[in-house]
Chains A and B, each alone.
Chain A
């Protein structure tokens, strides 16, 4: 029997004629997953890139070179900028377009209804777009994923299977780190096989954290099908007018400074003074200040000025924030949760300050200074003043 669902669709994001890095990372991961899938199941399913925009034919070609088997593109002036309503409708149309599915694999044209899997970027655009597209397609979505595995899963579930044992073949295990970074939750999107409320839930979809997966190198010898999709555009879906777009620079700069000093829950005994200490340490090293994710949730009562300057999402180093490759990274009172480590592990020289020798950060630093930051940072500042002359960049 031919299945109703085939292929992995990847929704591509681009800006000013360039791919966002996450787009190529998603294609890379999709390629790896589908190659394994095709070996494991003796199948021939495809990585299909979906791209919307205006004047994007050149980008479409490049997607093949980066690893897609096929590209479905919708090229229309109304799609020049991302607008949620029309983008959702067009992606929904593409996902259910049996004609393009037929072009990808003529032999299955009459059987395939929808993609098996679908990827979006977990950023300002993809998070919302994935949410609305999956309502349109009436299926499930897991967000902010950083690990993917395809498995046959045998399970008995009160709701999903009505308590009987069932095998869900070719199930996408979607791993998402929780806010603490210490827990990994695996999300599955499963059809309801319970006779009381049977329903198909496909595609199995997720949004993927930027920067996690490796893109493939562009290879001009790769071949694939490029399919133009002509969307049906309802004027009702064009009600949002974009009046202006203005590029802004963040006040937080993790690119230029050679040093980053970051802090986490270790400031808790006296948050106000400890942040001031860290501020001073950063000043001595002409460093930018970063924080761990829990800090952006404003866990402490501190002065408004420090609160609004430091306890903000824009300063987060980690999977839900920035990634740095600073020459010198000082982690003060940071335990070293996976999601934070991802953001700092590419740094050059890493110094951790922590009283707890069992903290995971110990395995992610070059020097582990055992002690409380209250005691250690003043000593460091003194010594830096003696030894290091920082020339402002």
Chain B
């Protein structure tokens, strides 16, 4: 174990309750769109990865972890799930009808104020890469900018020097039409990290694994009694500026949602009966032809 003489590390995680896309829980309309009424909700998968990254800080640096989310009252479920992963000692739900309908800017404002209400001055704030339903990936960096924290995106691993209060992180940058790059950066705390989907914590030494087990056990105990750690805040309790949150604080609106028009058929397909071996033989012959024709070209 690391002997810690310096200031303890404070970590916050912002998470989201999302539709559960796993089979058996997700429901699709006949036209292929998500049936939200029938689909269950759960801690978003990217939020879960962010919680794992926070737990890494708990194990390695004895960090204190706080979790915040903006959502409806049932979002306490996501907080409990994230506590089970991260061993958080503080769970915040920011919930008010005034927050409803916010775009990412209006959401980031609530999260900024909420993080300020957490115990301790935050050193690292984690968010997931993006939500599975909204998929904008904007809320994290926008919260970071509002907090005035250095933003590091697509982080795949990190380590902290508690003495110098510096963080080192590896980032995975993928750009279309160019090679992927792993960039290693160093920055003073505080930082805001949006965690890459490929992030995995690794615990290599015996002492790390022992700490892992200890905190995991604690996480289970805490999550069993998650209400003891749980606080809910409405707009008034948070003290947000009501013109900066919810619909008034959202520059963008959803103007319309439509079914993507069926494009005109780009190919005329031949429909064949898959149970007829003779037909399958012909298809494979065509596949062979296609591959050969292209080679000559």
Contact = CB atoms under 8 A, between A and B. Distances in A.
Interface of A: 13, 15, 18, 20-22, 81, 84-85, 88, 123-125, 127-128, 130-132, 134-136, 138-144, 153, 157-160, 173, 177-190, 192, 194, 196-197, 199, 201, 210-211, 239-250, 258-259, 268, 271, 294, 297-301, 312-313, 320, 327-328, 335, 337-338, 341, 345, 348-353, 357, 360, 362-372, 375-376, 379-380, 383-384, 386-388
A366 B270 contact: yes
B32 A388 contact: no
Given A181-B260, A240-B185, A387-B284, A301 B273 contact: no
Given A250-B180, A327-B290, A368-B270, A123 B174 contact: yes
A180 B21 CA distance: 11
B294 A327 contact: yes
B33 interface: yes
A328 B260 contact: no
Interface of B: 21-23, 26, 28, 31-34, 45, 101, 103-105, 108, 132-133, 135-138, 140-142, 144-146, 150-154, 168, 172-188, 194, 197, 243, 247-248, 250-260, 262-267, 269-275, 277, 279-281, 283-288, 290-291, 294
Contacts of A240: 150, 152, 185-187
A22 B177 contact: yes
A211 B176 contact: yes
Contacts of B153: 84, 124, 127-128
Which secondary structure dominates where chain A touches chain B?
Answer: mixed
Contacts of A294: 21
B291 A242 contact: no
B274 A371 contact: yes
Given A135-B105, A142-B252, A350-B267, A367 B173 contact: no
Top 3 closest A-B pairs, CB basis?
A371-B274, A140-B251, A349-B290
Contact of B270 (A131, A199, A201, A367): A367
Contact of A348 (B138, B146, B290): B290
A360 to B, nearest CB: 6
B186 A370 contact: no
A369 B277 CA distance: 12
A179 B251 CA distance: 23
Contacts of A158: 247
A162 B149 CA distance: 35
B59 to A, nearest CB: 22
B239 to A, nearest CB: 17
B22 to A, nearest CB: 5
A388 B287 contact: yes
A204 B32 CA distance: 31
Contacts of B294: 258, 327, 348
A178 B259 CA distance: 10
A180 B260 CA distance: 10
Residue from B254, B256, B272, B291 whose CB has the most chain A CB atoms within 10 Å: B291
A177 B32 CA distance: 13
Contacts, number: 301
B137 A143 contact: yes
B275 A135 contact: no
Given A245-B183, A366-B267, 7 more contacts: A124-B174, A128-B153, A132-B144, A140-B251, A246-B182, A248-B179, A300-B23
A380 B105 contact: no
Contact of A144 (B136, B258, B264, B283): B136
Contacts of B266: 345, 363-364
Nearest to A363: B265
Residue among A300, A348, A363, A386 having the largest count of chain B Cβ atoms under 10 Å: A363
Contacts of A139: 251
B221 to A, nearest CB: 27
Nearest to B264: A363
Contacts of A186: 254-258
B291 A371 contact: no
B241 to A, nearest CB: 10
B185 A184 contact: no
A386 B173 CA distance: 43
Contact of B184 (A244, A337, A345): A244
A135 B174 contact: no
A376 B64 CA distance: 55
A184 B290 contact: no
30 contacts: A21-B177, A124-B172, A125-B173, A128-B151, A128-B153, A130-B138, A131-B145, A135-B146, A144-B135, A157-B253, A182-B33, A239-B187, A239-B188, A242-B184, A248-B179, A248-B182, A348-B294, A349-B290, A363-B264, A363-B266, A367-B272, A367-B283, A368-B270, A376-B274, A376-B280, A379-B277, A379-B280, A380-B280, A383-B277, A387-B284
